[in-house]
Structure 1
C-alpha cells in the first residue's frame, strides 16, 4: 500500500524543483527525503524522478502518480474538513500567509479579534510576498491573504477558493508640503522622481502597465519593494510614491496622500483557502476575521497632510 506521507513528499519535490528545497520546506534533511522517495520508488517499481540540470523533474510514471496523489491528498483533506464541520468547533492551530503591506491595517486587527473570540486558536503567521498560493496548494499554509491587480491576469491555481475582501487603490504619496489635495492625473507623474517597486513584482508591473495606459513609460529614480522606504523617500521630498491605501499607516506623519483621477491602479485583496465541499470551521473563522478587519480598515481615515 502506498504511504501517503511519501506521496506528499513527491508532490513537494515536484513543486520545489529539488530534494534539498523540499527538505527545507518540510523541516527534514535531504537524506531523509531521499530515503522516503527511494522507498516510494520501490513501492511502485519504476523511477519517479530524473535529473534535470541542477534540479529534478518527474518521469512519465512520476507525473501519473502525482495526478493520483493530488486526488488522494485532496480526499484526505476533504475527510478532515467533513469531520471538523460535524464537530463545528474552531480548532487549535492555523497557518496564515499574508502580504507585508496588509499587516498594520488587516492582519494585526484580525489576529487580535481571533485571540478574543477563539483564545484556544494559535495562528502562525507567515509574512511574505512570495508564492503564497503555491504554499496554499501544497498545504503548508491554511489561509492566504493575497492580492491580484485588476488589469493583470488571474493566475489562481485549481482547487483554490477565493473570497474577495476589498478593492485597494494605489494612492499618490508626496511630502506633506508638496502639491495639494486634488486628485492626480497619472500623466502628471511622468516628470516626477518616482519610488516604485521592481517591475518583477505584481505592484511594479501594475504601475508600469498603468503608466503605459496613460501614455508614458516611467523612469523611476528609486526602485524598492520596501513600502516603508518608499514612504520615507516621499516624506523627505525626494520622490513621489504609488502605494496601496491599506499599506499606509493612518498615523504616518509628514506625507500627503491623493487618489488618481484617471487610470486607477488597484488591487483586489482576497482570502484564499483550499477548496473542500465542507467548510473547515477554523479556516472560516480566520477568513471572517480578515474580512471584518478589511471592512473596518476601509473606513478608517487616511493620514492627514502634516505641515
Structure 2
C-alpha cells in the first residue's frame, strides 16, 4: 500500500517492487478481502485511498517505522557495519564521489556489499518505498527548499556549473553568464532541474539562452563542446579531470549551484551501515572539492 501511495498508481507501485501490475492488484484484492472494505478508488487515470485505506496506511506506516527503528537499535548495540546496503546516485556523481566512496568502503568494511543504482530518477521517494537505503541526490539553489517527512538530509557540497568550450589555450578565466548570450548552447531538456536552473540564471542575467542542442547526456554535451559546436554548462562533479580537449570556466556573475546531499530514512537510533555509506560519500566529496579542473 505504501508503494501505491508514493507512486500514485498500481503500475508505478509494481515497477518499484519489480512485480507485475497484476501481481500487485492480486495482493491488494486479497488485502481488501481480509479487511472487508474497499481500500482504493479510481481517481482519473490513477487511484486514491478511501478513508479506510488511508487509516490502514497510517497504521502500516507506523508499524514499518517501528520495525526499522528496532533493526537500527539492534545494529547500534552490535556497533558493526552490516553486510548489505543499497545506494541510489545520479550519473553525474559516479566518477568523482560514488566510485571513490565505494572503493573506500571496500577497504574499510570488506564485509559490506553496496548495490548502486545509477539513475537520473534518484528521488527521495525511493527511501519511503524502502527500495534504497541511501540516496545521493541534488537540489538546485534556485528552487525553494522543501521538507521531506521522515528523511534525514546530510549536505555534501555545493557543486557549481562550469562553462565548457573547446580548448583554446586561454586558461580557466572566469566568465560572465551574460557573455554567453551570443553563444549557441547545448542544454538539458527544459523539464529537468538542471535545464530549469540554467534558464532561470540566464533570465536573471538578462537574456534568453540560444539553445542549439538539447540533451541530458553529459558525455554528449562535452563532445559537442569539444568539437566547438556549442557551449555547455555542466556540473563540476560531472567532468572527469582527465577529459582532454575542453576548456572549463567558472561563472562569476550569476553562479548556478546545485547542492549535493546524502539522504537516509530518519530514525532515532543511527544505523551504523547507512552512517558508514554517508561518511564515505562525505569524505569523497570533501577530498574532490579541491581537485584540479581538466587541463586546457
TM-score range, shorter chain: over 0.9
Query: How far off its partner does 1:178 sit?
Result: 7.4
Pair 1:201 & 2:192 matched:
yes
Name the CA distance, whole Å, in 2 between partners of 1:219 and 1:64: 51
Q: Which moves more between the two structures, 216-225 or 53-62?
A: 53-62
- For the aligned residue pairs, the C-alpha RMSD in angstroms reads 1.4
Instruction: State which of 252, 260, 270 in structure 2 corresponds to 1:269.
Output: 260
Name the CA distance, whole Å, in 1 between partners of 2:106 and 2:172: 39
Secondary structure in structure 2 of the residue aligned to 1:221:
strand
Question: Do the aligned partners of 1:133 and 1:156 also contact (CA within 8 Å) in 2?
Answer: no
Secondary structure in structure 1 of the residue aligned to 2:269:
coil
Question: Do the aligned partners of 2:122 and 2:136 also contact (CA within 8 Å) in 1?
Answer: no
Query: How far off its partner does 1:130 sit?
Result: 1.2
Instruction: State which of 30, 35, 41 in structure 2 corresponds to 1:44.
Output: 35
Which residue is equivalent to 1:130? 121
Which residue is equivalent to 2:11? 20
Q: Which moves more between the two structures, 122-131 or 173-182?
A: 173-182
Secondary structure in structure 2 of the residue aligned to 1:299:
coil
Q: TM-score, structure 1 length as denominator?
A: 0.93
Pair 1:223 & 2:214 matched:
yes
Which residue is equivalent to 1:300? 291
Runs of 4+ in structure 1 over 4 Å off:
none
Name the CA distance, whole Å, in 2 between partners of 1:205 and 1:77: 37
Question: Do the aligned partners of 1:137 and 1:157 also contact (CA within 8 Å) in 2?
Answer: no
Secondary structure in structure 1 of the residue aligned to 2:63:
helix
Q: Deviations over 1:148-171 (max 9, x none)?
A: 111212235211111011111111
State how 1:68-79 maps to structure 2 within 5 Å: 68-79=59-70
Question: Do the aligned partners of 1:49 and 1:62 also contact (CA within 8 Å) in 2?
Answer: yes
Q: TM-score, structure 2 length as denominator?
A: 0.96
Instruction: State which of 4, 20, 30 in structure 2 corresponds to 1:29.
Output: 20
Which residue is equivalent to 2:173? 182
Name the CA distance, whole Å, in 2 between partners of 1:135 and 1:211: 32
Which residue is equivalent to 1:157? 148
Name the CA distance, whole Å, in 2 between partners of 1:42 and 1:290: 45
Q: Deviations over 1:90-146 (max 9, x none)?
A: 111000000000000000011111111111111110111215211112111000111
Pair 1:146 & 2:147 matched:
no
Which residue is equivalent to 2:78? 87
Pair 1:113 & 2:104 matched:
yes
Query: How far off its partner does 1:179 sit?
Result: 5.9
Query: How far off its partner does 1:30 sit?
Result: 3.1
Structure 1's unaligned 5+ residue stretches are 1-9
Instruction: State which of 258, 262, 274 in structure 2 corresponds to 1:283.
Output: 274
Which residue is equivalent to 2:225? 234
Question: Do the aligned partners of 2:122 and 2:137 also contact (CA within 8 Å) in 1?
Answer: no
Q: Which moves more between the two structures, 146-155 or 176-185?
A: 176-185
Q: Which moves more between the two structures, 109-118 or 34-43?
A: 34-43
Question: Do the aligned partners of 2:186 and 2:215 also contact (CA within 8 Å) in 1?
Answer: yes
Secondary structure in structure 1 of the residue aligned to 2:289:
helix
Query: How far off its partner does 1:54 sit?
Result: 3.4
Query: How far off its partner does 1:272 sit?
Result: 0.4
Q: Which moves more between the two structures, 27-36 or 273-282?
A: 27-36
Name the CA distance, whole Å, in 2 between partners of 1:165 and 1:56: 37
Structure 2's unaligned 5+ residue stretches are none
The count of corresponding residues between Structure 1 and Structure 2 is 296
